[in-house]
């Protein structure tokens, strides 16, 4: 497939951008009736140049009017090359500077400068304007870039411009496909018979027909019914292509410019993002914390308050760590560049790089936050991933969750996690689920402390329930907690018995007096066999008062010496086994028995006979048929 390169125009109003695009491509990008009537560009326009086998050059024509810089920003977010247009008769003007600053802030790497309307000026004048432009682009990404003089009216210089664009387009590196696909929406419309269509530049990854997608930040779910790139239906769109998506299952009204199409369940909508803030050297005034700004990322514009993290005031030309509290949710990924404009007057004052889209909610802990951001900004890819796993804490992080928070695609992230696991810097909870060793150590300390506290408070209990321990250890995720317990058992630190766990070193120790009481109670039940005493009676005969809530009675039940058959009715475990054997033997002989047979067999009253039969039913030894019992499975 031919390479696609997106070129964005930039420059002051009336400098001939739209005329130039039309002269180059034959396409009039001013489509709106109002644009036609007023002769100015209000919103974005789209055109393309196809010259096989050369790259397909897609052009986004932006408005130059200062009132529509917002639309210009939505258009240049995804471009590869900037074409800065300066009218030879007017020279450098305010939006020439502002658009250049915006392209620089967005880290657009390459482009060219076009001096238009050369038919209107003399040679000498053109030379003066060229000098101005040289001074303007000095120190920017356009320093040393190709510079062409053209006239859209006479056609002079157009073929040279086409050739220059083509040469430049050849140098644009293909975008990475190992990234979460994202398409910041710049237009939404309906096509009769097809429904909702959105367009934008696919900034990363690939999207295919039938993909399940979501429109973020609202999370509206949809399926891709069709895809087009510059007018042709395609089965798949790749990073860098201007793409139209026909969305199935979405109302036109549910989607707007600024929203982002991504695969279902991949992106994060956040009202808080952290990053760097670079104030332009010619920003009109310093920025203080709580300053209200317009935050532009992708095709969206969202109001936000700046919180400076390591300085009280940011001077023009300086850079600082900043948190942005957004007035509506934003969808971005770390590494995205953004532009900031002042609330009033509306001028571009700076921009920066997003470092964290799901930042820790630290309060008054700016130094820790600044250190965290410094790691995300300058750390190696491994350090960045480790830092994110550290920050999710005891719940651990799943690969799918991490993907929406790191500047790496799925393949790269998998590789990084594998390396971190091999180095012991990240632990595995389960498939594609990770935990930081610090979180594991913290959870381990909490769990051991909770167990010790429990043993101190309940010296006669052999152990505590796993669930109670999990809750007392801070309510860690069940899977994370189970992994920890397994590790502790393997190490021999913790022992478990069915759903009860204890410190391996824990032993129930009775005083001589307690031992005497326990022995006596046990003897009472053993001797009484099939006609056991009530708990109160047994305790009374051992010289203590109380019922089955007494700690020594519970000790016998938990130690499974005594078995509860129904409320207030306990049997000694050995006695129950004997009873069961006798009943089974009788059933083998008679095939079926009733309560009367049990009474005779064991010499007991109905008070015991009925609960015992029900207990044997519950133990799945017998089955009831009418008033009779038969052996289960017989
Ligand atoms: N003489 C001359 N006029 C031009 C040329 N290019 C554009 N214009 C005129 O300049 C005005 C503004 O052009 P337009 O393309 O709308 O500028 P934009 O606002 O930068 O898009 C229009 O009246 C055009 O006809 C040119 O190369 N020569
Ligand atoms: Mg225009």
DSSP H or E stretch at residue 232: strand 232-233
Quote the ligand 1 centre to 357 CA distance (angstroms): 42
Atom 8 in ligand 1: residue holding the nearest Cα: 16
Is the bond preceding 53 in cis, omega lying within 30 degrees of 0? yes
Q: Please give the pLDDT value at position 559.
A: 85
SS3 state of residue 400: helix
CA-based nearest residue to 259, from 310, 201, 331: 331
| Ligand 1 binding pocket mutation candidate from 8, 14, 96, 148 (most atoms within 8 A of CB) | 14
Average pLDDT score over residue span 291-306 = 96
Distance CA 216, CA 331 (A): 7
Residues 6 or more apart whose CB falls under 8 angstroms from that of 501 comprise 451, 463, 464, 465, 466, 469, 485, 494, 495
C-alpha R_g of the chain? 38
**Which ligand 1 atom minimizes the distance to the CA of 116?**
27
* Sheet (strand 464-465) strand order: 464-465, 500-503, 494-497
Atom 11 in ligand 1: residue holding the nearest Cα: 14
pLDDT in tens, 401-411: 999 999 999 99
Q: Please give the pLDDT value at position 1.
A: 63
Atom 26 in ligand 1: residue holding the nearest Cα: 117
Distance CA 13, CA 96 (A): 9
Distance CA 308, CA 289 (A): 5
**Which ligand 1 atom minimizes the distance to the CA of 22?**
15
Q: How far apart are the first and last CA of the chain?
A: 73
Quote the ligand 1 centre to 117 CA distance (angstroms): 7
Q: Which residues pair with 624 in a beta bridge?
A: 629
Distance CA 438, CA 426 (A): 9
Phi, psi of 593, deg, nearest 5: -140, 160
pLDDT in tens, 492-519: 999 988 888 999 988 888 889 998 999 9
Atom 25 in ligand 1: residue holding the nearest Cα: 19
Quote the ligand 1 centre to 145 CA distance (angstroms): 23
pLDDT band at 364 (very low <50, low <70, confident <90, very high): low
Exposed/middle/buried for 97, CB within 10 Å: 0-12, 13-18, 19+?
A: middle
Q: Which ligand is nearest to the CA of 87?
A: 1
Distance CA 318, CA 378 (A): 18
CA-based nearest residue to 60, from 239, 228, 230, 311: 230
Quote the ligand 1 centre to 129 CA distance (angstroms): 17
Question: Which residues lie with the beta carbon below 6 Å from any ligand 1 atom?
Answer: 13-19, 40-41, 64, 116-117, 119-120, 151-153
Quote the ligand 2 centre to 46 CA distance (angstroms): 11
DSSP secondary structure code for residue 175 in this structure:
P
Q: Which two tokens stand for residue 386?
A: 């480790």
pLDDT in tens, 247-284: 998 999 999 999 999 999 999 999 999 999 999 999 99
Quote the ligand 2 centre to 23 CA distance (angstroms): 13
pLDDT in tens, 422-477: 999 999 988 899 999 999 999 999 999 999 999 998 888 888 999 999 999 888 88
Question: Do 199 and 185 touch, CB atoms closer than 8 A?
Answer: yes
Q: Please give the pLDDT value at position 461.
A: 84
Computed over every residue of the chain, the mean pLDDT equals: 92
Quote the ligand 1 centre to 222 CA distance (angstroms): 42
Q: DSSP characters for 262-303?
A: EETT---EEEEEEEEEEE-TT-SS-EETT-EEEEEETTEEEE
Distance CA 495, CA 516 (A): 28
pLDDT in tens, 204-235: 999 999 999 999 999 999 999 999 988 889 99
Atom 7 in ligand 1: residue holding the nearest Cα: 16
Q: Which ligand is nearest to the CA of 13?
A: 1
In this structure, the strands spanning 56-61 and 4-10 are parallel
């Amino acid at each position: 497939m031919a390479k696609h390169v997106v070129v964005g125009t930039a420059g002051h109003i009336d400098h001939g951008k739209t005329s130039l695009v039309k002269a180059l491509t034959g396409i009039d990008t001013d489509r709106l009736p109002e644009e036609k009537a007023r002769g100015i560009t209000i919103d974005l326009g789209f055109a393309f140049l196809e010259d096989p086998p050369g790259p397909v050059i897609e052009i986004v024509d932006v408005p130059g009017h200062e009132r529509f810089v917002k639309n210009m920003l939505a258009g240049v977010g995804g471009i590869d090359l900037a074409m800065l247009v300066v009218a030879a008769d007017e020279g450098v003007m305010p939006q020439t500077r502002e658009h250049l600053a915006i392209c620089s802030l967005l880290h657009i790497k390459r482009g060219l400068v076009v001096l238009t309307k050369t038919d209107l000026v003399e040679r000498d004048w053109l030379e003066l304007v060229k000098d101005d432009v040289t001074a303007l682009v000095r120190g920017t990404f356009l320093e040393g870039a190709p510079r062409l003089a053209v006239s859209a009216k006479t056609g002079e210089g157009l073929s040279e411009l086409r050739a220059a664009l083509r040469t430049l387009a050849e140098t644009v590196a293909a975008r990475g496909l190992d990234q979460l696909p994202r398409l910041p929406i710049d237009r939404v419309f309906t096509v009769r018979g097809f429904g909702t269509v959105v367009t934008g530049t696919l900034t990363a990854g690939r999207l295919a027909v039938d993909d399940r997608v979501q429109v973020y930040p609202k999370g509206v779910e949809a399926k891709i019914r069709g895809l087009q790139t510059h007018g042709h239906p395609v089965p798949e769109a790749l990073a860098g292509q201007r793409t139209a998506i026909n969305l199935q299952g979405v109302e036109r009204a549910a989607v707007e410019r600024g929203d982002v199409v991504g695969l279902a369940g991949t992106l994060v909508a956040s009202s808080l993002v952290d990053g760097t803030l670079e104030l332009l050297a010619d920003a009109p005034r310093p920025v203080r914390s709580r300053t209200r700004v317009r935050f532009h990322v992708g095709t969206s514009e969202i109001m936000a308050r700046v919180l400076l993290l390591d300085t009280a005031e940011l001077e023009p030309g300086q850079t600082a760590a900043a948190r942005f509290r957004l007035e509506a949710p934003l969808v971005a990924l770390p590494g995205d560049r953004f532009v900031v404009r002042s609330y009033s007057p509306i001028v571009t004052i700076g921009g920066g790089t997003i470092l964290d889209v799901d930042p820790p909610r630290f309060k008054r802990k700016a130094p820790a936050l600044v250190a965290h951001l410094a790691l995300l900004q300058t750390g190696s890819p491994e350090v960045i991933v480790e830092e994110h796993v550290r920050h999710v804490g005891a719940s651990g992080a799943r690969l799918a969750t991490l993907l929406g928070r790191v500047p790496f695609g799925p393949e790269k992230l998998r590789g990084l996690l594998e390396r971190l696991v091999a180095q012991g810097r990240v632990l595995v909870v389960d498939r594609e689920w990770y935990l930081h060793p610090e979180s594991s150590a913290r959870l381990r300390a909490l769990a051991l402390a909770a167990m010790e506290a429990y043993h101190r408070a309940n010296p006669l209990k052999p152990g505590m329930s796993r669930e109670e321990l999990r809750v007392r250890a801070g309510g860690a995720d069940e899977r994370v907690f189970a992994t920890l317990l397994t590790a502790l058992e393997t190490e021999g630190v913790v022992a478990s018995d069915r759903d009860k766990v204890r410190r391996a070193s824990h032993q129930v120790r009775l005083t001589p007096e307690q031992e005497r009481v326990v022995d006596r109670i046990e003897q009472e039940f053993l001797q009484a066999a099939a006609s056991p005493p009530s708990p109160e009676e047994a305790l009374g005969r051992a010289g203590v008062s109380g019922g089955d809530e007494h700690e020594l009675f519970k000790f016998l039940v938990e130690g499974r010496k005594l078995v509860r058959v129904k409320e207030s009715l306990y049997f000694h475990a050995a006695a129950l086994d004997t009873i069961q054997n006798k009943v089974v033997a009788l059933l083998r002989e008679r095939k079926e028995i009733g309560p009367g047979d049990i009474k005779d067999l064991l010499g007991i009253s109905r008070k015991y006979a009925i609960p015992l039969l029900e207990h044997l039913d519950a133990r799945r030894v017998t089955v009831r048929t009418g008033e009779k019992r038969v052996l289960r499975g017989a």
